[in-house]
Structure 1
C-alpha cells in the first residue's frame, strides 16, 4: 500500500503557526484540521485487493482533503512570512547600514525568551516559528510552554503538557462551563495537579457547573491536593449559594498559596488556618458579604503584605467592627464608593508598617481629607489618589496630605479639585516624585515655583527626581519651565494617569 507520510512534528509546526496567525487576526483559517491529523502517523491510500472500489475512492478523497489542508496552510504561511520579512527588513535597513547586527549567544537569547513570556500568557509561544535556531531554543525551554487555557483544543493542551515537562503550570479556567470543557479539565489537567502554580478565572455563568465540578472532584479524588499552587483566582461573584464557594475552600488543598482573589464569599472560619500562608489578597465586595467575617479573615493573615479591596457596603452599620491588626501589610489598594466604605478601613484596620496607599474613591474633597486624617501615618512613603466627582464642596489641598503623611516620597493625585498648597507646613516630606493631573488655579505657575523654592531651601532639591503634570488652561509649558527646572519636569496626558 503506497503511503505518503507527513511527520507529526511538521504538522505540529504548521498547526501552531496557523493558530498564531489566527490569534493575531491575520487569518480565519481553522487550524483544527491540521491538529486532527497529528494523531495519525501518515496519510495513506489503501489499494489492497480486499478493499472495494468505493472504499478506496473515499480513502483517496480523505487523503486529498488532508493534503489540501496542508497545502493551504503552507501557502498562507508563505505569504504571511514574506510580508513580515519585508516589513522587518524595511525597519532594520537604517540600523544595518549604521550599526550592523551581531547574533546573540544562545544563553542570552533563551533568557530574553523567558523574560518576554509572561506567566499568565495563554497564547501559544511564537518564538518557535521564527527560524530553526529559535525553534531549537524554544523546545529546550519548558517554561515557555507552561501556560494553558481551557479554551485551547485538547491536542494543544496535550502538546503543552509534554513540552513543559515538570515545570509549574499557569492555567486559565475561563470557559469551564462550555460543553466538554469540564471533561477535558478532569481528564487532562487534574492528573497534573501537582504542577499547578497559578489558576485564574475559575468561574461560570451557571453555578451548577461548578457544583458539578466539585462533586466530581470529591467522587474521584476525595480532595484536590495542589502542593505547588501559589495563586488562585476564584470568580464567584455570580454564586448565589455560598455553599458552592465553601466547597472550593474545603476541596482544594493549597498549602503554599500566596495570592487569593475572590468576591462576596469569604472562606468560612473553620478554613482560616488553610490560608495563613497568604501574602496577597484581592477582594471585590458586593451586597451580601459578611463584613465581620471579612475583618476576621484579614485578622487571621499574619503574613499579609498586599491587600486590594473593592468595597460597596449597603448597610451603614456594617463597618462597626472591632479593630483588626494587620502587622505585615505594606501595600493597600482601596476602591470605595462613599465614606462608609472608607470608614471600614480607617476605623477598624491598624497597619503599623504600611508603605504604599492607593485610593480610588467617589468622595468630596472634605470627606476625603477628614477620613485620611484618621489613618495618618509616618510609615507611608507612597500615596496615590484617584478621586471621582462626589457631593459637597472644597478642595483637595496637598498641605493636608503632607501633614498627615509626613514621610511621603512618591505622591500622585488625579482629582478635579487638587490645590497645590503649603500652608502650615514647616517641613516638606522627603519628596522624590510628584504627579498631578492638573492644578486648576490661576496662580498655578506661582504654586510650582513655591514648591521649587521650598525644596531648595530645605535641602531636598538634589534628591527630588521629577514633577509630572498636565498642561492646562492655567499652566503652559513655557510658564512652568521658567519657574521649575526643565530637567525635572515631565508632561503627561490625562489618559496616562
Structure 2
C-alpha cells in the first residue's frame, strides 16, 4: 500500500469549523438543558462561533505564508465547559470571599491571584481587606489599609509559636495601627511568652489623651497571663460607646462607665496583683458598672487556696444583674478559689437560665487525679443558692457529687442537666414535667 506523503508544517491547513456545524452543535446543547436559544446571550455560550471571513481555502503548495502562527491563533477554537462558579453573581461571589477571609487571613491574597476577574472583584470589595494581623511586613499592612478604604478594621496581634514578640516590634505595629483608631471595630492582643513591659508598648498610644478615642470599637480582647506590670490602664481616653464584648486576662483597667457600661458579654480572668477580699471588691466594682451583661465568665487562676473554717463569714454587699442569662464559673486550680465562692454568693441573678461550672485544671498529679470532686464543693453548695429560673445546668467532672441531686429538686424550670466526666464525653439528662406542674425525672440519656 503506497504511503501518503506527509506535508510540511508550513503547508498544513489549520483546523476550522464552519458556521453550520457550530450552529448544529449549539442547538443540540441548548435542547439538552431545555433552554430556549432566544433566552441565551452570546456571552453565555460555551462555543464562540467564527465568522465566514475566518474560513480559509486550501493553500497552494507553491504559496508561502509569512505569518503562519498569527493566522493559526486567530482561527483557533477553545472548547471548554463553563465552571458553575463562573455563573454566580458578583455580589454572591464577593460574599463567599468575605466568609473565607474569616477563617484564613491570607485568603484575600489567594483569591486575588486566581484570575483577572477575581482580582478585580477582590480589590473592589473593601470589607475583604478589613482584617489586619501584624504578622506580615509593614508594606503589606499599609496596602491592606488602602484597600479597605472606609471600612471598619479588625486589628489582631497574636504571637506565633516559634517567633515571640519583642518590645520594639509591638510598639512599631501599634503606632502604625493607632493612626486609624477611629476605624477600629475590634482589637485582639494575645501573647503567651513573657515580654517585659508589653502592655506599655502595646497600649501606650491607646491611653494618650490626644486622638485615642474609639467611637466604632465593638470587641476588645487583651490576654497576657504572664503580665508583671501593675499599672492601671485607662483606654481610649474613656470613650468607647459601642463596646459590647470584652475579654480580659492579666491586665488592670480603669473601669469607667463611659467605657464598659454597655457591655453585653464579659470574660474576666482576674490578675495576680490582688487576692482575697480585695480581689472580690474589685470584681464587684466591675460588675456594678457593667450591670447590663447577658453573658459572664469568671475565673481566679492565681488565688491562694487555704483551708477555711466553715463558720467564716463573708463581707456584706451584693451585685444585682437582672439581664444576665448565662453564667460560667471557671476553676483553674486544685480547689475552688475562695474568691470565686464569695463572689458567687454576692451575685443576684433572678433571670439566669444557663449555669456552667467549668473545670479547666490540667495539671492533675497522681493524688489530685483520684479526686472525684473538689474538697470545698460542699461549702460552695451550702452558700450558693441555685436560681429558680435555671433551665440548663452543666457540671464538669470535679464540680459534681451526689450531694447536688437534692438541690435540683426545687428547680421547677430545669430542663437539661449536662455532666462531663474526666476524659469522657458529655452525658445529657432531661427532666420532664406533667401539665399539673409536678416533676417527673428521667435518667435516660437523651443522645
Q: Smaller-chain TM-score range?
A: 0.5 to 0.7
Residue deviations 1:380-404 (CA, integer Å, cap 9, x gap): 22222222489xx74764x753x25
Change (3 A) 1:410 1:135: farther
5 Å-filtered alignment, 1:254-403, equals 254-268=240-254, 271-289=256-274, 290-312=279-301, 313-314=303-304, 320=315, 322-336=317-331, 337=333, 338-339=335-336, 340-361=338-359, 364=373, 371=380, 374-388=384-398, 394=402, 397=405, 400-401=407-408, 403=409
Structure with larger Rg: 2
> Is the Cα–Cα contact under 8 Å of residues 207 and 235 in structure 2 kept in the other structure?
no
Pairwise CA RMSD: 3.9
Change (3 A) 1:349 1:216: closer
Gaps of at least 5 residues in structure 2 are: 1-82, 362-371
Corresponding position of 2:221:
233
Q: TM-score, normalised by structure 1?
A: 0.56
**Equivalent of residue 414 in structure 1, options 414, 420, 439:** 420
Residue deviations 1:451-497 (CA, integer Å, cap 9, x gap): 8xxxxxxxxxxxxxxx22xxxxxxxxxxxxxxxxxxxxxxxxxxxxx
CA distance in 1: counterparts of 2:431 and 2:207, whole angstroms: 62
5 Å-filtered alignment, 1:81-480, equals 103-118=87-102, 122-125=105-108, 126-174=110-158, 177-178=165-166, 180-182=168-170, 184-201=172-189, 205-212=194-201, 222=210, 224-243=212-231, 246-249=232-235, 251=237, 253-268=239-254, 271-289=256-274, 290-312=279-301, 313-314=303-304, 320=315, 322-336=317-331, 337=333, 338-339=335-336, 340-361=338-359, 364=373, 371=380, 374-388=384-398, 394=402, 397=405, 400-401=407-408, 403-415=409-421, 426-428=438-440, 447-448=443-444, 467-468=446-447
SS in 2 for 1:157: helix
Residue deviations 1:248-302 (CA, integer Å, cap 9, x gap): 4475642321122113544346x34432121111111254332211112112212
SS in 2 for 1:298: helix
CA distance in 2: counterparts of 1:410 and 1:138, whole angstroms: 46
Residue deviations 1:129-170 (CA, integer Å, cap 9, x gap): 333333333222211111111221111101110111111111
> Is the Cα–Cα contact under 8 Å of residues 396 and 419 in structure 1 kept in the other structure?
no
CA distance in 2: counterparts of 1:291 and 1:378, whole angstroms: 25
Residue deviations 1:358-379 (CA, integer Å, cap 9, x gap): 2113772896577457332232
> Is the Cα–Cα contact under 8 Å of residues 235 and 263 in structure 1 kept in the other structure?
yes
> Is the Cα–Cα contact under 8 Å of residues 266 and 294 in structure 1 kept in the other structure?
no
Q: TM-score, normalised by structure 2?
A: 0.62
> Is the Cα–Cα contact under 8 Å of residues 365 and 396 in structure 1 kept in the other structure?
no
CA distance in 2: counterparts of 1:153 and 1:332, whole angstroms: 41
Q: CA deviation at 1:186?
A: 4.8
> Is the Cα–Cα contact under 8 Å of residues 238 and 258 in structure 2 kept in the other structure?
no
SS in 2 for 1:329: coil
CA distance in 2: counterparts of 1:226 and 1:356, whole angstroms: 32
> Is the Cα–Cα contact under 8 Å of residues 148 and 169 in structure 1 kept in the other structure?
yes
Residue deviations 1:225-255 (CA, integer Å, cap 9, x gap): 1111111112343332321xx2344756423
CA distance in 1: counterparts of 2:215 and 2:236, whole angstroms: 15
Residue deviations 1:165-195 (CA, integer Å, cap 9, x gap): 1111111123595365345425532211111
Larger RCO: Structure 1 or Structure 2 (Cα < 8 Å, ≥ 6 residues apart)? 2
Q: CA deviation at 1:216?
A: 5.8
CA distance in 1: counterparts of 2:347 and 2:396, whole angstroms: 21
Change (3 A) 1:428 1:152: farther
Gaps of at least 5 residues in structure 1 are: 1-95, 432-446, 452-466, 469-497
CA distance in 1: counterparts of 2:91 and 2:330, whole angstroms: 43
> Is the Cα–Cα contact under 8 Å of residues 252 and 271 in structure 2 kept in the other structure?
no
How many residues align? The count is 328
SS in 1 for 2:112: helix
CA distance in 1: counterparts of 2:182 and 2:236, whole angstroms: 18
CA distance in 2: counterparts of 1:229 and 1:423, whole angstroms: 44
